[in-house]
Structure 1
Amino acid sequence: MTALRTAHMVASVLLGYPDDRLYGARDVLAEAVGELPAGEVRDRLTAFLQHVAVTAQADLAAHYVATFDLKRRCCPYLTYYAYGDTRKRGGALLRFKHALRRAGFEPVGGELPDHVAVVCELSGRGAVWEARRLLQEHRAGLELLRTALEQERSPYADVVAAVTATLPPAGPREREAALRLAAEGPPAEEVGMEPYAVMEASR
């Protein structure tokens, strides 16, 4: 359980905007990852930290914005995959908010509670069962995010893969849901948005 909390806390920092907090804590993060059990989680987090070590902060920040802010198929908000920008998403967000409130945790900077980094931090702070339940319930979206990042050749794919590796293996239901999302995209209401395209050839 300690290793799981450590892995999720490290992932929460790595999946946040690459500010001075990340770059100032590189040695501490690397030490924490080095103490994790051998396996995919440690290997993936190590790979990303090695990328950070040789990448200028401004360059990584630009990549972060270009990836997570400008590509909807790389959306870090878990409820988006299941509910899109429909009214139902509000109810789903409430479940995340309640989970955070029960743990006495308030995200800094007004970040939405379904951001992967926020859910990982929830686990790192001790609410492991609650956080893993939320991640597992949105496993299809998490897998789709990982796949999209891999297709973008983004180093962040390693971090998301590390998070998925902390969960039970995806079953037929999760795999089917991920394939359906890849083919159809999240639900949509008539709110003037462009059609969602998972395999955006132009991006």
Structure 2
Amino acid sequence: MSMITLRALSALLHYPDENLRAAVPDIRATLLVERIVSEKQMLRLDPLLFRLSGGDLIALQEHYVELFDRGRTHSLHLFEYVHGESRDRGQAMVDLRERYIEAGLDPATNELPDYLPLFLEYCSTLPRSTALTELAEAGTIIATLAERLESRGTDYAGLLGVLRDLSGDQSVPAEALTPVDDPNDLEALDAAWEEEEITFGAMAPAAPLAEPACPISNRQILAMQLEQGA
């Protein structure tokens, strides 16, 4: 049996729009029916579900872009934490995309394969035991992101906390939680990881993979507007 819960949690991590807002009741129902998420964990999700279903959508979109798109501290791209911009990231992308294809998932999207919501969607297509094993590969990264979001006091922290539980509640290297004065300072963020090797599966070094060109989105426009207003 596949884990539809992971697909529901994946949806909550996407850029918030009217479609996501309309889907919140179905997402909540899915989580309650499948019962993989406990009642206690549902309470942690409630603030985000409430905000997505009825809060100021523009403010929520600005918060999402500020949180996830304007730096690497809270990046939703898994390999940012493992490879950064190194050459290793290219082959890692290829390998992960092949996993998706083998599972029958066509990753025809503007997002790269290491985008966490896409990875969760992939895991949701697998049998439960396999899905949890795959999810555990990214467990340290998910736990790190959960800790950082908790420090920010954002409603998304509850969502990542649930994913941390499902991925094995792995420990976070102390270096990964080193405060960075400027969250957009790439050198400082990279230095925070130098003392502790973080792995994701068994990815081998190779030439970099070029990112696909795609039309500019409202999300990208909002990110640029926030950057100009900073």
Q: TM-score, normalised by structure 1?
A: 0.79
**Aligned match for 2:188, one of 174, 196, 203:** 196
Deviation, 1:40, is 4.0
Amino acid at match of 1:182: L
- Deviations 1:13-61, CA, capped at 9 Å, x for gaps: 0001112221121211122223225344333333321222331221111
Residue 23 of structure 2 aligns with which residue? Answer: 25
Is residue 78–residue 141 contact of structure 1 (8 Å, CA) maintained in 2? yes
Distance 1:50 1:137, change over 3 A: same
**Structure 2 residue runs without a partner (length 5+):** 193-230
Is residue 44–residue 158 contact of structure 2 (8 Å, CA) maintained in 1? yes
Number of matched pairs: 186
Provide the C-alpha distance between the structure 1 equivalents of 2:118 and 2:100, rounded to a whole number of angstroms: 9
**Structure 1 residue runs without a partner (length 5+):** 186-192
Is residue 33–residue 46 contact of structure 1 (8 Å, CA) maintained in 2? no
The equivalences for 1:82-101 within 5 A come to 82-101=82-101
Provide the C-alpha distance between the structure 2 equivalents of 1:183 and 1:44, rounded to a whole number of angstroms: 25
Provide the C-alpha distance between the structure 1 equivalents of 2:119 and 2:41, rounded to a whole number of angstroms: 17
Provide the C-alpha distance between the structure 2 equivalents of 1:13 and 1:21, rounded to a whole number of angstroms: 10
2:68 is the alignment partner of 1:68: yes
Provide the C-alpha distance between the structure 2 equivalents of 1:158 and 1:24, rounded to a whole number of angstroms: 20
Q: TM-score, normalised by structure 2?
A: 0.70
Provide the C-alpha distance between the structure 2 equivalents of 1:113 and 1:70, rounded to a whole number of angstroms: 19
Provide the C-alpha distance between the structure 2 equivalents of 1:127 and 1:113, rounded to a whole number of angstroms: 20
Distance 1:134 1:126, change over 3 A: closer
More helix by share: 1
Provide the C-alpha distance between the structure 1 equivalents of 2:91 and 2:130, rounded to a whole number of angstroms: 17
Provide the C-alpha distance between the structure 2 equivalents of 1:115 and 1:145, rounded to a whole number of angstroms: 13
Three-state SS of the structure 2 residue aligned to 1:109 is coil
Provide the C-alpha distance between the structure 2 equivalents of 1:116 and 1:125, rounded to a whole number of angstroms: 15
- Deviations 1:129-184, CA, capped at 9 Å, x for gaps: 555344322322211111111111111111111111112232xxx43xx3233349
Rg larger in structure: 2
Among all aligned residue pairs of Structure 1 and Structure 2, give the percentage whose two residues are the same amino acid. Answer: 23
